A and B are shown apart, each in its own frame.
Chain A
Amino acid sequence: MELNQLTIHELKEKLLSREITSVDIVESVFNRIDQVEGKVHAYISLLREDALRGAAGADQKIQEGAGGELCGIPVALKDILCTKGVKTTCGSRILQNFIPPYDATVVEALRRAGAVFVGKANMDEFAMGSSTETSYFGVTRNPWALDRIPGGSSGGSAAAVAADECIASLGSDTGGSIRQPAALCGVVGMKPTYGRVSRFGLIAFASSLDQIGPFTKDVEDCAIMMNVIAGYDPKDSTSVPQDVPDYRAFLNRDIAGWTVGIPREYFRDGMDPEVSAAVKKAIAVVEDQGARCIDISLPHTDYCVAVYYIVAPAEASSNLARYDGVKYGYRAENCRDLLDMYKKTRSEGFGAEVKRRIMLGTYALSSGYYDAYYKKASQVRARIKEDFAEAFKRCDVILTPTSPTPAFKIGEKTEDPLQMYLSDIFTISANLAGIPGISVPCGYSGRGLPVGVQFLAGHFEEGKLLQIAHNYERHAHIERRRPEL
């Protein structure tokens, strides 16, 4: 077994027993990168020298008996996370040469924990997308089938973990951008409760929906990563001052007596049969472990995508106004005057999907339309949140498919934005309500493409998610395959 194929907890053991060094791990990861990155293209930039230096430093710490929970572990960062002194592009031409003078809070946390940064992972431009096809820096391919998408917008972060090009990674999730790629790439991905993880340093897409979360190879690793990144940050006004439990304490527990809600709106006739089959198996596993699955209703489910595609673009249109060529980033050449500079810079700097969403958002907020669109959407959003609050009175967690289909082909949905938006149908609701969610591999399609099952829980109940996810993982006996690269 290559070191790059192991998990954080497996590697930690070997590091602590001095069987291996961090440099060994990093070298193994970069060997893998050399082998497959040309095919997968998970990264926008690689930090080979920094990583080796970091690994040497980590080894020193381990020698001294110091070193945090991630000491010596190579991790990838979605290129949406500001990394001091390191180019951070957000997948966009408009930030192609931007070097932040500061670290995002989660990046600081990972540093403190001793993590070693492998590189900045590819993503849909400004996190707007479900396929990682809109990056200015090229498409990322699903390691399981190179002619298919890895999901998005955190496609690079998911693919890197799936292809063993890093041990774990961070992504961001605004409408499913961690959970959906996790499902499509066969890895574990979690979106924490809104406010659980600091957004300071996360390049903003939709402020009231964005959250940072981990991609890992198994649920135990997810708990380890959550321990490091969760917590109150005074630099983020929306960060919640709530204590962080030891998430590892929720592992290896049983779920006998739990009630698992199966929302009927997420399981209608006509669902992709392969997804349907895999998720039904997951339900059986969970029941087998003593949980009781009940039918619940989330009556406003049909409105989720519509609400999201007003609220998110509206906030994004405002968040992206700062990209104007004045203080940083791309500036167009040969501009007649200021207005020309603004228009050329933004039109040349942003890709089509970003422009489309800025247009949608600007329209939704504009005079005369605010009430009909943004206000209305915000009201329906309140209803959606209520749906979950009601549901969680009757069940501990909710179980749903993560993605309506396994990975689709590259280019398959790029001509029809609305179609692309509908691939977020199962994940969007959690962002709207602010609740946490996790996607765990639950099988493969006939073609050998991964399928994921999603668990949702109430606010700040990441522990519950990890508990049931870990229990499921241990008892589902999903065949552990590797992508053939």
Chain B
Amino acid sequence: MEYEPVIGLEVHAQLLTKSKIFCGCSTEFGAMPNSHTCPVCLGLPGVLPVLNKKVVEYAMKMAMATHCRINEMSSFARKNYFYPDLPKGYQITQYALPLAEGGYVDVETEAGRKRIGLTRIHMEEDAGKLVHDEHLPSSYVDLNRTGVPLIEIVGEPDIRSAEEAAAYLRRLHEILVYLEICDGNMEEGSFRCDANVSLRPKGQEIFGIRTELKNMNSFRNVQRALDYEIKRQEYILESGGEVVQETRLWDDTQGVTLPMRSKEEAHDYRYFPDPDLVSIRVDETWIREVEGTIPELPLEKRERFIREYEIPPYDAGILTTSKALAEYYEDVVKVCGKPKIAANWVMGDLLRFVNEDRGDIRTCSISAVSLGDMINLIEEGTISGKMAKDLIQDMYETGKPPRAIIEEKGLVQITDEDALTGIIVDVIRANPTQLAQYRSGKDKLFGYFVGQVMKATQGKANPQLINELLKKKLDQA
């Protein structure tokens, strides 16, 4: 029997607002426990939540970037349950009336392009952190993280493989980061993913029994966990068994999913509209305002690069990994007008420098204008490609623009034919043995002569010209 996996992903993204969703505490990561806490997020008696407008804006951005329909009216609800990291004994979330519904993203896999639907995007507050003592029967609660704003992005069960799932996650991730509303750090927990997985016989419409997977803290682990779970369920079904509906945790070290140890009781969350918060009304004006702040998104940018700059998809992919890098590249092209050449230089030497430094493209010592100008200099013939390799190193180390360095070091390429001919003649005369060998058929020695001419000119001679003149002179009997 052939089984088809049916996967639906739930992503929680922490939003990059300065303050929490319902109070003015800082959202900064890494502070001492319980120091970014106030009566409101501590859930003290008598406190009330007030919604951070930026959270709504950021959620709207994500909704628009994923083609969702933004509901004109939406509201908050309480999800009631007891846990030490949940100070109020309920989480404020959106239930019946979420901010946005019905969007999609397009993902690319080996099989081609596929559209994955989004069920909804809603806002909610994060919970605190619980740390367990290894030896003592104690757990410790840090409430700094309670109230950090989250958006939950619920995907339709349109995903049919672990590969598709990873592609979907990467797409969501790059959009969130491009929009500058989330830093997308899975290890730190600002981008989290849970998965619902089930199998059904190919061709069947009814969904099979699903399990929920948690604790996958990287894209790779999501893919591994899904691959494993799909196999695990397949084995059960093929043996004639039934999949148990349960929550399973991904164990990274063992490479397996394991059922949660605590007895999973079906939670009765008793959702009801939160009486302490009023409804949110998003009108056309507000939508237009926020729409205006949305940058060109990665997919669209890549496609435009391929179209406009006629560069291959691979190049476009690398050049758009970050918005800043894409901007840099386009600035270079503006200066030199040579997109393919610019792409090579940016993807090659420039990225190498940036990565070595572990730096930010935005603070790279080689400005886009400088790089563009350097390319111009090559095209003008003022320097050779080889010379540029050294020049760019200088530019990186000194931060100076190319023309300044050239002037300082007198690096102008030798293009004077007479001068060059003279040097070539000298080189030929100085190497009679090689000359004879070459003339007797050892063509390979051409490279030797080129090297000698390069040495004699300190690398400043135009290579094409060297080739031309050298050939002429060598073939001259």
- The answer to A–B direct touch (Cβ < 8 A) is yes
**B270 and A88: CB pair below 8 A?**
no
Count of chain B residues near A, Cβ 8 A: 30
- Known pairs A208-B275, A318-B90; A200 contacts B47 (CB<8 A): yes
B459 interface residue (CB < 8 Å to A): no
Contact between chains at B48 and A98 (CB < 8 Å): no
Task: Flag the segment in B77-85, B331-339, B373-381, B393-401 that touches A.
Answer: B77-85
Question: Is residue B208 within 8 Å, beta carbon to beta carbon, of the partner chain?
Answer: no
**Which B residues lie within 8 Å of A238 (CB)?**
48, 275-276, 278
Task: Specify the chain A residue showing the minimal Cβ separation from B42.
Answer: A327
Answer yes or no: B324 CB below 8 A from chain A CBs: no
Q: Report chain B residues within 8 Å CB of A457.
A: none
Select one of B88, B89, B143, B272 contacting A370, CB under 8 A. B272
Q: Complex: how many Å from CA A200 to CA B275?
A: 13
User: What's the least CB distance linking A164 to chain B, in Å?
Assistant: 29
- Complex interface: chain A residues within 8 A of B143 (CB): 327
Q: Is the CB of A100 within 8 A of B46?
A: yes
Pick from B42, B47, B141, B272: contact of A365, CB below 8 A: B272
Complex CA distance for A353 and B80, rounded to whole angstroms: 21
Least distance between A406 CB and chain B CB atoms (Å): 33
A206→B276 CA distance, assembly (Å):
10
| Residues of chain A within 8 A of B50, CB atoms compared | 234-237
Q: Known interface pairs A102-B39, A237-B277. Does A321 touch B80 (Cβ–Cβ under 8 Å)?
A: yes
Within 8 A of B (CB), among A68-98: 81-82, 88, 90, 95, 98
In-complex Cβ contact of A362 among B44, B51, B270 (8 A): B270
Chain A residues near B78 (CB, 8 Å)? 318
A322 CB-CB contact with B under 8 Å: yes
The proximity string for B residues 246-281 relative to A, scoring 1 for CB distances below 8 Å and 0 otherwise, is 000000000000000000000010111001111000
Smallest CB gap from B23: residue in A: A235
Min C-beta distance of B254 to chain A, whole Å: 27
Residue A396 lies at the interface, judged by CB distance under 8 Å to chain B: no
Given that A367-B268, A370-B270 are known contacts, is A237 also in contact with B51, CB under 8 Å in the complex? yes
Q: Which residues of chain A have C-beta atoms less than 8 A from B46's C-beta?
A: 81-82, 100, 104, 200-204
How many angstroms between the C-alpha atoms of A323 and B78 in the bound complex? 16
Q: From the candidates A95, A207, A322, A323, name the one contacting B276 in the complex (CB within 8 A).
A: A207
Is A31 in contact with chain B by the CB < 8 A criterion?
no
A124 at the interface (CB under 8 A from B): no
- Cβ of A322 and Cβ of B89 under 8 Å apart? yes
Whether a CB of chain B sits under 8 angstroms from the CB of A59 is no
Contacts of B317 in A (CB 8 A): none
Counting CB contacts under 8 A, is B447 at the interface?
Answer: no
How far apart are the CA atoms of A236 and B42 in the complex, in Å? 16
Q: Say yes or no for A374: interface residue by CB 8 A criterion.
A: yes
B76 closest partner in A (C-beta): A237
Give the nearest-CB partner of A210 in chain B.
B275
Judge whether A237 and B276 touch: CB under 8 Å.
Answer: yes
**B49 interface residue, CB < 8 Å from A?**
yes
Please count the residue pairs between chain A and chain B whose beta carbons lie under 8 angstroms apart in the complex. Answer: 101
Interface of B is mostly: loop
CB closest chain-A residue, reference B85 = A326
Inter-chain contacts of A326 with B (CB < 8 A): 84, 87, 141
Interface residues as binary, A348-373 with B (CB distance below 8 Å gives 1, 0 otherwise): 00000000000000100111001000
Asked if A342 is at the interface (CB within 8 A of a chain B CB), the reply is yes
Cβ < 8 Å to A, chain B residues 141-172: 141, 143
Determine the residue in chain A with the shortest Cβ distance to B45: A203
In the complex, A328 Cα to B143 Cα: how many Å?
13
Given A199-B48, A202-B46, A314 contacting B272 (CB threshold 8 A)? yes
Q: Is A221 an interface residue (CB 8 A)?
A: no
List, in ascending order, chain A residues with CB within 8 A of B87's CB.
Answer: 322, 326-327
Cα A384 to Cα B143 in complex, Å, equals 41
Is B43 in the interface zone, CB < 8 Å from A?
Answer: yes
- Residues from chain B with a CB closer than 8 A to the CB of A314 are 272
Q: CB < 8 Å: which of B44, B80, B141, B270 contacts A100? A: B44
Shortest distance from the beta carbon of B280 to any chain A beta carbon, whole Å: 11
Residues in A with CB closer than 8 Å to B80 are 317-318, 321, 365
Q: How far is it, in angstroms, between the C-alpha of A133 and the C-alpha of B50 when the chains are bound?
A: 35
* A101 pairs with B45, CB closer than 8 A: no
CB-defined interface of A380-405 with B at 8 Å, one 1/0 digit per residue? Answer: 00000000000000000000000000
Q: Which A residues are CB-close (under 8 A) to B276?
A: 204, 207, 237-238
Contacts of A165 in B (CB 8 A): none
Q: Check: A218 CB closer than 8 A to any chain B CB.
A: no
- Contact A342/B82 with A95-B45, A236-B48, A322-B87 known, Cβ cut-off 8 Å: yes
A104 to B272, CA, bound (A): 26
Do A366 and B39 touch across chains, with their CB atoms under 8 A apart? no
Task: Tell me which residues across on chain B come within 8 A of A235, comparing CB atoms.
Answer: 48, 50
Task: Tell me the complex Cα distance, A90–B44, Å.
Answer: 13
**Further pairs besides A95-B45, A338-B84: 12, Cβ < 8 Å:** A90-B45, A100-B46, A101-B44, A237-B50, A237-B277, A318-B272, A321-B82, A322-B87, A322-B89, A324-B89, A365-B271, A367-B268
> B: which residues have CB within 8 A of A?
39, 42-51, 78, 80, 82, 84, 87-90, 139, 141, 143, 268, 270-272, 275-278
**Which A residues contact B (CB, under 8 angstroms)?**
81-82, 88, 90, 95, 98, 100-102, 104, 199-204, 206-208, 234-238, 314-315, 317-318, 320-324, 326-328, 338, 342, 362, 365-367, 370, 374
A-B contacts, 13 listed (Cβ < 8 Å): A82-B46, A90-B45, A98-B45, A201-B46, A201-B47, A236-B50, A237-B50, A237-B277, A327-B42, A327-B141, A365-B270, A367-B268, A367-B270
